[in-house]
Every structure is written in structure tokens, then in C-alpha cells.
Amino acid sequence: MNKYLSIALTAGIICTIIHSYNNHYPATQQLADTIYTEAGGEPYIGKLAVATTIFNRARQLSKPPLDIVNTPKQYARRRTSFRQRLSTEYHDCPGLATTLYKMQLTPLDNWTHFYAYKKCTPYWAGALKNKKVIGNHMFGRLD
């Protein structure tokens, strides 16, 4: 087999895998992308903390987690590339997203909000209760 045919076949298989994944799990993919965008550089505990805020808001508002992350100006989300999905930073995100999507996550605490405390202080930050710093984020609950 020549190298061009090999490259084309490999690219075709990868595209098929990506297409299949996106078509069968679009909600979990969006949740995984949100967790990665918000906490991609954090250890697992930071990603779990972000998932915790989504879970708690979903439970509090009786909405699916996807509705929570798709609410304007709440969570950042970028569509991840295939390369990002292979990164070690992304590794934990799909599992957390699946557990979150099924509403089977065991939350770390009752947090509903977080922010990058070294970069900004949102107007609501002073009203946070039960504050805890994990990685580069401050987590807490707004009542």
C-alpha cells in the first residue's frame, strides 16, 4: 500500500469515528467540551468541581445539564478538536460528561458558581457561600 492511500484510509477512519461520536453523543460531547473549556488545565478535581456546579444548577432548576451549559453567559464552551480530545487534559472530560448527562454525578459540594479568582472578581462573588479554592478557581454557592 502506498503512503498516500494509507494516509487517506487513516484520515477516513478518524473522520468516521468523529462523525459517529458526534451523531450518537452530541449532548455528552457538548458537556465534555464545556468541562474542558472551563477546566482543561486543571487536575481531575478541578474538572469534577466544574461538573459539580453544572449538576447542582440542573438539580436546583429541574433542567437537564445541557440546558444549563447552553444558557447564555453562564459557561464557556468551544468545540474541541480531535487533537484536543487526544490530550491528557481532555482525558477525564467524557467520563464526567456522561455521568453528568445521566444525572448520576456525586457532587463534591453544593456549589453553583465559580470564577477564576486570579483574573477577575464578578459582582456576585461577595455573596458566595461555602467558598473553596480548587486550582485556579473559587467555587461557592449562591442562594
The burial class, CB within 10 Å (0-12 / 13-18 / 19+), for 21 is middle
Confidence (pLDDT) at 5: 44
Distance CA 38, CA 40 (A): 6
Question: For residue 26, what pLDDT band results from cuts at 50, 70 and 90?
Answer: confident
State pTM to two decimals.
Answer: 0.78
Structure confidence by residue, pLDDT tens digits, 85-100: 667 788 899 999 999 9
